Structure 1
Amino acid sequence: MEADDTVPVKPKRRSKSRTKWTPAKKAAFFDHLSIAGNISQAAAAVGMAPCSVHRMRARDAEFADAWEAAIEAGYATIEMRLIGHALAGSGRGDPVEALGEAVAIDVDQALRLLKERDTRRTGARLRSGARPRRATAAETDALILAKLAVIAARKTGA
């Protein structure tokens, strides 16, 4: 048998075009996140993949802190959108209208997100078992109006 004098050639690796996080891109991401409260939507708005966002959060403490602040702002935005929805006399089946970069969401989805926030804050885990009873539209509207009355009373000093 004859020895092969050819040198094996390594196939060239295609370089993946990686998009880097710039300070402007981070700021835009957090702006979108605080308005929409949606990680995938905010990532897409700045041309990044959601996995890239999660990786950055895991390795950069400042990014993780800004993430938490933006998520809290997003929850507050959703809460205000729900209050506006109730005050406009819209029903539970009507979508909560879009706001800025935030897409329209339905009332049930918004309420689930707020429940998730409360679960995150308390550190409690959702329990399996009997499903919780969902409040009726009248009950949620009454609760929101009662909270607004408390806020108004605080502002007037009564």
Structure 2
Amino acid sequence: MTIAGQEARSWDAGGWDGRWTKTKRETFLDHLSMTGDVASAAAAAGVPVMAAYAKRRREAGFAAAWQMAAAGAYERLEAAIVAQVLGGGSGIDLKTAMLLLAQRPAPVAPPARPRDDRREAAAALLKQLRAQAKRGGTPEPA
């Protein structure tokens, strides 16, 4: 099977030992960022395509890096479209490029920051101390 001119690798791809090294990870993500093509990124890194998808499912950090790399590829596509429309482009097929952009996934919002519960905890503690002071006759906290 051929995807974007690259052979899609299976699980038993020659030379694949089942391990993701730092170099393989970086090569895959760099290539994905430049091309937006998962199959060619996997081929460049020497890993099976299915291994890349499996790693994305298993590891949240890799999935986040994948998402950032894919976003970079979409940004490059947008820049190429703008350049071509303004007359300095490289002759990309605008209709196809626009169809690709229409398929761009919506950006995922970053996780919400945890609330700072220190004020709430301090208020609750102060309330408990005041209640204890009333029961025991000790002076109330300030």
CA distance in 1, matches of 2:46, 2:52: 11
Structure 2 unaligned regions, length at least 5: 1-13, 109-142
Equivalent residue, structure 2, for 1:111: 98
SS in 2 for 1:21: coil
Counterpart code for 1:37: G
TM-score normalised by L of structure 2:
0.58
Counterpart code for 1:121: A
Counterpart code for 2:99: R
How far residue 95 of structure 1 moved from its aligned partner, in angstroms, is 3.9
Matches within 5 A, 1:7-156: 17-19=15-17, 20-88=19-87, 95-96=91-92, 106-117=93-104, 120-121=105-106
Structure 1 unaligned regions, length at least 5: 1-15, 97-105, 124-158
Cα contact 2:16–2:47 (8 A) shared by 1: no
TM-score normalised by L of structure 1:
0.53
How far residue 116 of structure 1 moved from its aligned partner, in angstroms, is 0.7
How far residue 76 of structure 1 moved from its aligned partner, in angstroms, is 0.3
Number of residue pairs the alignment of both structures matches: 94
- Deviating runs (4+, > 6 A) in structure 1? none
Q: Larger Rg: 1 or 2?
A: 2
Matched-pair identity in %: 33
Alignment root-mean-square deviation, CA? 2.3
CA distance in 2, matches of 1:34, 1:108: 22
